[in-house]
Structure 1
Amino acid sequence: MWMITGGAGFIGAHVVRAMTEGGRQVMVYDDLSTGSRDRVPEGVPFVVGSVLDEARLKATLREHGVTGVVHIAGKKQVGESVERPLYYYRENVTGLQTLLEAMTASGVDRLVFSSSAAVYGMPDVDLVTEETDCRPLSPYGESKLVGEWLINAAARAHGLRSASLRYFNVAGSATPELADTGVFNLIPMVFERLEAGEAPRIFGDDYGTPDGTCVRDYIHVEDIASAHLAAAVRLEEAAQGTALTLNVGRGEGSSVREMVDRILKVAEQQGVTPEVTDRRPGDAARVVAAADRIREELGWSARYSLDEMIESAWKGWCRRHA
């Protein structure tokens, strides 16, 4: 049995779907602070609880016969983390520490960890490899990097088998009902502006990139979910102390302007002209994954295209805002 923390959230619900379809037994542990019970499929065991509650974690691991954990629960907004660093360190670092203590006490020694490309900060390279220096720019990115350190230390000390997955820019949806309900990423931000009758914003067009806008590696949430399944399968047979750190991206860069143009086309709003505003502090010119290691280690590669991401996200947006 795999326990998926945060399994009622946007990414977590997709991981639940991928792992059940992949033949794994799963249960969900979520405090519902941002998730929704409606996202959890019927028949999947569900426990409402915080990762800061060690007693509840231990009881859940024991009662459900958990043998591995996919840890997705946590806070993920960069701007909010700058304003509330203590909150982010408590939720993301202390929460992970508490989970690891409960796992160690319960003899659960497999962990797939939701990390982030935010650990890299502003890398000055064409492709970001797992060896690229990590210089996070926000408490959120710091909390993910500290989490990786903590997991690697537990692997050395306690034989934990782990895989830390560094997500790049997640988009799309498997089905409309599982779509992202937040408006913090580029695609839903553009949708929100269009719905309000306003032009989408582009933050800066004077970067050293081909069209002057930031370049990012966008990846479909279904690909993210399948990467978790592949990591879990690998850990089921891995030696004690295995500690993998893997980028999860397509290995292809797309500029913000290119993405906005594609979004406008899908939304049938090609006549709208984006509004260019000042750069946002901390935005790197280019952050694109080198995706070789995950292919070599897990036999995994991304399947979905940019247009498939945008079209699936648009269907979800239209369903919620009909």
Structure 2
Amino acid sequence: MELFHLRYFVAVAEELNYSQAARKLHMATSPLSRRIKDLERELGQELFKRSTHAVELTPAGRALLPLAREVIEQVNAIPWRLREAAHPERATVFVGVPAGLHPDLRGKLQLLEERTRDTVDLKRWPGPTAGLVEAVHDGRLALALVRLPVADPALEVAEVLSEPLGAVVPADQFAGRKSVHLAELAGLSYISTPSDSTPAYFEEIDAQLNAAGVKKRLRLSQGDYSGIAELVSSGIAFSISMLDPASPMQLYRLDNTVTLPFADLDPHLRTALAWRRERAEPGGELAPLIAKAREAFGVSAAPD
């Protein structure tokens, strides 16, 4: 049995869909299915019940899942455990930051850098939330600011900011308006950022828009926030972004775009500080840094 067999098994078990698991693993469905069958033959157990419409874990599969996750987690932890054992006085640590970070959080991050300057050299590492969460889990990042929700049980997350969101709409179509109703957006296409950089929370918003009758969608396979602003400015689409004028996302506004609050929706993008639990335990190498991060970001101390 190879480690990749367990990784493939966990991916299918979490998705319960071979096509989605294959995309997650960046491979084709057929070789994934073959690897799962190889694992089943080696274990002498059927792990999944398959039909044309569904994939389900068998009792053996349900029993294997926590064992496989534990093995994978232990292997993933080897690099950072080894680094900490070989270099207990590591001078440089990395903090992950998502795009569009609010200036208030940047100020608190700068405060943390100042308060830890005598012990560590704190560096920032940008990325989408999914990649930052994975890097914190694997130990490549000491901690990160991430967009909620985060489902990784190995991480502790503490919310540090909740930002109200509004609709970015063509200004000429909503001149003089102080807010916008969902029904008024049905004639426009909703456009979000590419899926690899969109916070998971936006999937919930997309579902709410769909339920309210906003059915049309535009997807950018490649592009950035400036590309979205161009489409909104042209009058064919709307997007969702931060309402706060201090948000750096306001820099992407173009002529004929305006951001309005919703009259019948109250979305908020929540940002949290995240770190791996076991690395911040008493006596752990990151415990002093996490304590200072809690203080800088105004997060209550963990209960005893």
Q: TM-score, normalised by structure 1?
A: 0.25
More strand by share: 2
Q: Of the two, which has the highest radius of gyration?
A: 2
